[in-house]
């Protein structure tokens, strides 16, 4: 295909993942186009984080496969950057903000090589983009939750990957940080990168994303917000817990 917009960045085929006897994902098939900003929505425990981790190759599926630009995940070193949930990170580790951002450059070096001046320049550029340059010498644990999230965004950006996967980057951050993160995601998309974001706030999903993946173990919907944010579909997936939200969803999906 000649146009980047028509390429498939992430192909998920018949993906089933279980944790012991409990299924997290069941027979999920979806093609994520390159160069778009995609939101992954669904109730708690619906498999959103599992889908992201499967795209990273962190989890071995029971059945099915994931391909990144038509390659197996194991063959795509350096093509994917990942921003985990804040709660999964040891914030007491004695490392500075600049050192965290520079970790995004390790994939561009052999294990015996030190980071170069150019690598640190890339890290500094990423920190500037997320508005954290003034904190470069601070220990990561001294920052607020929103600031920590921005630093991990900088680490991912410094990697200069083609695909950026984020697990609930907006959770627990203030309005200013949420806007700063969204600005970075939109800029990343404008550069032709593919961005997939686990997102919990349905009220902003239509505004933030080009397309949405709706999960509840199985794939219930994929497409523009106007299609996926269907009140009847959402009430089915969320088991009728969205009656108050239904009218707002109708307005946003128009």
Domain final residue pick, 114, 131, 160 = 160
Q: Are residues 131 and 17 in the same domain?
A: no
Q: Are residues 142 and 155 in the same domain?
A: yes
- Domain range for residue 75? 4-79+162-253
Q: Are residues 26 and 57 in the same domain?
A: yes
Torsion sign (Cα): 169, 173, 176, 177: negative
Helix (H) or strand (E) holding 176: helix 175-190
* Max CA distance (Å), the chain: 58
Half-sphere exposure in the Cβ direction for 142 (13 Å, CA): 9
In a domain, 84, yes or no: no
To the nearest 10 degrees (0 to 180), the angle between helices 145-159 and 175-190 is 10
With CA atoms as reference, report the closest residue to 88 among 184, 169, 200.
169
Per-residue pLDDT of the chain (254 residues; tens, 9 = 90+): 334 446 999 999 999 999 988 899 999 999 999 999 999 999 999 999 999 999 999 999 999 999 999 999 888 878 899 998 876 566 677 889 999 999 988 876 666 667 888 999 999 999 999 999 999 999 988 888 888 889 989 999 999 899 999 999 998 888 888 888 999 999 999 999 999 999 989 989 999 999 999 999 999 999 999 999 988 889 889 876 655 455 444 555 45
Q: Are residues 170 and 155 in the same domain?
A: no
Is the distance from CB of 184 to CB of 130 less than 8 angstroms? yes
Measured CA to CA, the distance from residue 188 to residue 29 in angstroms comes to 25
């Amino acid at each position: 295909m000649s146009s980047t917009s028509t390429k498939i960045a992430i192909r998920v085929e018949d993906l089933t993942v279980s944790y012991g006897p409990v299924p997290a994902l069941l027979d999920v098939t979806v093609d994520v186009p390159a160069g778009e900003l995609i939101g992954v929505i669904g109730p708690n425990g619906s498999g959103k984080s599992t889908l992201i981790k499967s795209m990273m190759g962190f989890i071995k599926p029971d059945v099915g496969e994931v391909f990144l630009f038509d390659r197996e995940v194991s063959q795509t070193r350096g093509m994917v950057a990942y921003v985990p949930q804040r709660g999964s990170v040891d914030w007491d580790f004695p490392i500075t903000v600049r050192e965290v951002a520079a970790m995004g450059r390790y994939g561009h070096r052999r294990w015996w090589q030190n980071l170069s001046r150019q690598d640190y320049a890339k890290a500094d550029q990423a920190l500037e983009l997320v508005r954290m340059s003034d904190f470069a010498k601070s220990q990561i644990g001294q920052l607020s939750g929103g600031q920590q999230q921005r630093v991990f965004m900088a680490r991912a950006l410094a990697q200069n990957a083609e695909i950026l996967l984020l697990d609930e980057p907006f959770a627990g951050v203030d309005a200013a940080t949420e806007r700063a993160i969204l600005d970075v995601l939109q800029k990343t998309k404008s550069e032709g990168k593919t961005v997939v974001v686990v997102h919990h706030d349905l009220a902003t999903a239509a505004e933030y994303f080009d397309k949405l993946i709706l999960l509840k173990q199985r794939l219930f919907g994929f497409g523009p917000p106007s299609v996926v944010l269907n009140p009847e579909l959402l009430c089915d997936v969320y088991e009728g817990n969205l009656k108050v939200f239904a009218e707002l969803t109708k307005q946003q999906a128009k």
